Chains A and B, each alone.
Chain A
Amino acid sequence: MVNFGYTPLPTHIHDMDKASLTLADSISFEDASFNLCIACGSCTATCTAGSFTNFSFRQMCHQIKRGESKQAIAESEKCMLCGKCTLACPRNVNTRNIIRLVRKANQTI
């Protein structure tokens, strides 16, 4: 490969081969609607918790899918389970259930 002299910083590399996807797998297994997310961000735009803090359901889903379970679990705690995101989601992602599953993972991990 041609070396252009640019390399990504090691801290900016997310190696998916090393990522643990246990949480992602268990959530997709328990609630298949998790796989329907298109990361449109409607949930985040309407989020009740999101108007007080930088919590984002969409981002949390990303973290799960990238294997960053710890961050996702820590984030999920901010949710109020109010259900606005469920109504806003164009893909019918069962958001409240996913939050609950992430919270449950907190107890098992």
Chain B
Amino acid sequence: MDLHAIQIPFHPFVLPFTIGLIFVAFYIIGKWIYWVSRFSWEDKKKIFVGLFSLKTPQAIWEVFMESLLHRKVFQRNTLLGYMHMSLAFGWFLLIIMGNLETRFFTHGRINPPYIPIFFEFFEHNLVSLDYGRFFTFTMDLLLLFVLSGVGLAYFKRFRSKPLGMKNTTKHSTIDRLALTALWLIFPLRLLAESVTAGLYDAGGFITNSIGAFMMTFLPLHNFYYASWWAYSFALGAFFVFVPFTRYMHIPTEILLIFLRKYGIAEKNIHSTYTQVELSSCSRCGICIDACQLGSDLGIVSTQSTYFIKSMRYDKPSEMLVDSCMACNRCDQVCPVGIDIASIRANERKMIQLFQENSYKYINGYEYRKAKVAYFAGCMGHLTPSVYKATLALFEKAGVDYNFIDRDGSICCGRPLQLTGQEDAAKQLIEKNIKLIENCGATVLVTSCPICAKVFTDSYKLKIPIYHHSQYLLKLAKESKLQFEKSDIQITYHDPCELGRGLGIYEEPRELLSLAGNLIESNNSRENSLCCGGSLGITNLTQEQRNTIASITLSELAVGKADVVATACPLCKKTFKSASEDIRIADISEIMLGAVQKSANKLISKEVNKSVIINN
């Protein structure tokens, strides 16, 4: 074939590929335009402003790092990261290199897309041209790179443990078909190129050797066209499958990264952004192992990957929406960064069970007046040892506090929020804001992370809000509290709402390290396990909750700590009912112990007295 000829070569076998490509390209562009057009004006403005700012190159960089190199998956497991990277980045490089190669050999001519893909078919004697060896070698190397990923993917279907996954997603039939097409693409490419290389003694180091080897016992000329047709078919089929399968995540994730960079996020109801997020889920299944409902209870059909899938195609069943502890562990591990928590929370809002005026009976009630307001909350009231210890420390530090809800409080609203009862929660929040504002506080301290979360996110109070671990640390830093460090070994359990919910990881640790030695458990901070007591789920039995609690506790006690410290009254209660062997204490109780041990005996007397007074 004369490469200089203006006429562009063609063969009917390129049609399946070309038709598939045109279809998918139109579909994706259409979908992107549709999505972007449906954003609110505010979001559109954000996109427009962002487009011409530094955010665009930053987004491009992120697309490169995440969509191609899969950095986050690498951080989880090197082998799994390599698998994703070799498929994505390898394929990308093949396309780039293929295009460069074709451009080079056709002297810069603009070619239809099928030419670079099937270049070996149209030009089998590259080796004899200038730089021919370089290109054939590189292309073979890249193909090998992709094939190694495909090989790992095959392997993962049978044994996923070495790739850091205990469970993999159960895919639907159409996903499996698309997967088969994808898995066939590269082996078929290898076959077609090898057959060609064998027949014409061309190709790079792999295709040439395989071709030569096959030549020795196979009539390769009989397979020549068939192999190219098969390769083209696999590609075409895959492209046609993309819009209807999880592979839609490939183009959508790119859009998602840009939108996120431009500052668009989940709102308090489903939005177009949600649509984009749903299509961005690759059903990689990384969220499955994170979910304790699966690992501890064997409930393996409600994990986020399935929830998101059913959200994308139709409506998730009530069971699917409700069966989640809202612990947000899955959120934390999702390599695509989908805001799963918000999507589920918004879906739960679809059913409002309470009326407009459910809590009209709360009337003429007042909290106690205070400067530093201490709020125990419902859970706090159930664990008197926690508030007693906290208040004893306040006494010791000379804080001018008052226990504003000592005679009882209304619920903070967070438990209602967690179950999707937004309207009811709003009523309580409004009432509680008034009550707190009326007590004249300048600072609000609570022992309950559940309250702290909703105070911070939804109350819009004008005063600072502290969790007691933060406030006690502040007192220690101001030298109002002195602790004596002992050699007690402490493992700290990050409560879901305090850690992942509010991002408070450091203060409790800093505080505890004033009292003893900290041992980190395997799953700490962002990966901390849920205690099982979650108010975000209602359909677990107490036995199931206990199972989760004991597994979490045994994880925590692995480091042979003397005491497991929590910073949440609900965690403490849940752990206590699951185990009697392991000592569990709230952070405030441990700190009180560290104060009492100090040389000044008077102090401990004083503290004891204050404990009694506060009872």
Contacts and interface: CB of A to CB of B under 8 A. Distances in A.
**Most chain B beta-carbon contacts within 10 A, residue among A52, A87, A88, A107:** A87
B421 A94 contact: no
B538 A96 contact: yes
Given A77-B355, A78-B361, A96-B538, A87 B415 contact: no
Contacts of A87: 379, 382, 570, 573
B106 interface: no
Given A80-B428, A94-B542, A100 B361 contact: no
B539 A52 contact: no
A34 B364 CA distance: 34
B419 interface: yes
Interface in B511-536: 535
B497 to A, nearest CB: 13
B361 A103 contact: no
B213 interface: no
Contacts of B381: 84
B382 A107 contact: no
B365 A83 contact: no
Contacts of B408: 48, 51-52
Contact of A84 (B382, B413, B416, B428): B382
Contact of A83 (B361, B379, B409, B542): B379
A11 to B, nearest CB: 27
Contacts, number: 78
Given A82-B378, A83-B378, A48 B409 contact: yes
Interface residues of B, number: 33
Interface in A36-60: 46, 48, 51-53
Contacts of B359: 78, 80
B568 to A, nearest CB: 13
A63 interface: no
Contacts of A28: none
A78 B410 CA distance: 12
**Most chain A beta-carbon contacts within 10 A, residue among B351, B359, B365:** B359
Contact of A97 (B358, B361, B539): B539
Contacts of B419: 81, 96, 100
Contacts of A107: 351, 353
A71 interface: no
B382 A46 contact: yes
B541 interface: yes
A102 B408 CA distance: 26
B362 interface: yes
Contacts of A80: 359, 410-411, 413, 415-416, 424, 428
A97 to B, nearest CB: 4
B354 interface: yes
Nearest to B364: A52
9 contacts: A46-B382, A48-B378, A52-B362, A81-B419, A82-B415, A83-B535, A87-B379, A92-B543, A97-B538
